[in-house]
Structure 1
């Protein structure tokens, strides 16, 4: 039986489904729980199974959901319908009843010790504490956030990354030239043993200069030096970029769509 996470026993069952630090969905879910489980106004809701059931962790906010482990398919599908969820991210390829798999993304991991360091392009400055509002506007002007390009989702993203960075659960960098943001990369989910890199973007005028590669390698090396596993999910068309940086493909992450989201 699916339960809203409320008690200490619920929390233990929820977190036991997130032990795999090599699974980017588990890393993302763990950070969302750490950041927002005590903030009802955030819109996030967290669910798990009952005592004695196989552990799973389900996180839902608005139309999006994250699932780690195996929930009862019929019950989970009904709950997500009631909650209005239309998109599900999971490491499991098999969809819930009535849902369909509509995407499969390659998961990459940094090699042991981190990727080889790449020098910053000449004349550029690394900003390790950029304005998060500026980063948000930069990302929404590029290709990283085109799936949900509207003001409401921009505001939600900004609010969430502020909360996560303030709690040490995210680290976001930019590369700048003469006060202009040229590129950004961030770890938008950081746990005690893992970091999930995402939202890598370079402005068109600065592409081909090595900005993104230098940022990604620097971030990955920092977390590897801290003993964290570093992973990322590559959007289609950029897998070769991470292979050239020395990242290794290990598995897939899947996107599933609700029946009404065809």
Structure 2
């Protein structure tokens, strides 16, 4: 039976489904749980199975959900319908009956020890603690978050990354020239054993200068040096970029849509 995570025993079963540092969905779910499980006003809800059942972790906020492990498909589908979730991210191609897989993304991992270092372009400055409001506006003006450009989504994103960074669960960098942000990359989910890189963006005027590559490699090397596994989910068309940086493809992550007649 699916139950809301409320007790230490529930939390232990939830965490048991998130042990794989090579699963980007597990890393994202674990970091969100660490940040928001004690903040009901955040909108996040966390579910797991009962004692003796296979471990799984289900995280839901608004219309989006993350699922790790094997939940009862019928029950999980019904719960998501009740909660109004329409999008599901997993590392499995078909976890719920009736849900339609509509996206598959290549997952990349940094090699042991991190990718080869790349020098920062001449004249650029690495900012390891940029304004998160500035980062939010920069991303909303680029392509990384093109599907979520409404003001409410931007405000939610900004609020979440502030909480995550304040709790040591995210690290976001920018590369700047003369006070102007040229590029950004971040680990938007950091756990004890892993870091998930995402939201890599370069302003059009600075593309082709090596800004994003230098940022991604520096950030990945920082986490690898701390003993953390580093992974990312590549946007379509960006796979070659990460391969050139030395990242290795290991698996897929999937997006699913709710049944159209719901």
TM-score range, shorter chain: over 0.9
User: What CA RMSD, in Å, does the superposition of the two structures yield over aligned residues?
Assistant: 1.0
In 2, Cα distance between the equivalents of 1:162 and 1:94?
Answer: 33
What is the match of residue 220 of structure 2? 220
On the 8 A contact 2:70/2:95 being kept in 1, the answer is no
Per-residue Cα deviation, 1:200-250 (whole angstroms, up to 9, x for no partner): 000000000000000000000000000000000001000000000000000
What is the match of residue 192 of structure 1? 192
- Post-superposition offset of 1:260: 2.9
1:103-252 equivalences under 5 Å are 103-252=103-252
Question: Which consecutive segments of 4 or more residues in structure 1 shift more than 3 A?
Answer: none
- Post-superposition offset of 1:252: 0.3
In 2, Cα distance between the equivalents of 1:48 and 1:96?
Answer: 15
Per-residue Cα deviation, 1:120-150 (whole angstroms, up to 9, x for no partner): 0001000000000000000000000012110
SS in structure 2 of the partner of residue 175 of structure 1:
strand
What is the match of residue 90 of structure 1? 90
On the 8 A contact 1:172/1:185 being kept in 2, the answer is yes
In 1, Cα distance between the equivalents of 2:153 and 2:231?
Answer: 25
Per-residue Cα deviation, 1:32-51 (whole angstroms, up to 9, x for no partner): 00000000000000000001
What is the match of residue 51 of structure 2? 51
**Stretch moving more, 176-185 or 90-99:** 90-99
In 2, Cα distance between the equivalents of 1:89 and 1:66?
Answer: 5
In 1, Cα distance between the equivalents of 2:108 and 2:191?
Answer: 17
Aligned residue pairs, count:
262
Q: Which runs of 5+ in 1 are unaligned?
A: none
On the 8 A contact 1:111/1:247 being kept in 2, the answer is yes
TM-score for both structures, normalised by structure 1: 0.99
In 2, Cα distance between the equivalents of 1:191 and 1:213?
Answer: 23
What is the match of residue 23 of structure 1? 23
What is the match of residue 256 of structure 2? 256
SS in structure 2 of the partner of residue 176 of structure 1:
strand
In 2, Cα distance between the equivalents of 1:29 and 1:236?
Answer: 22
Per-residue Cα deviation, 1:33-76 (whole angstroms, up to 9, x for no partner): 00000000000000000011000000000000000001000000
- Post-superposition offset of 1:261: 8.6
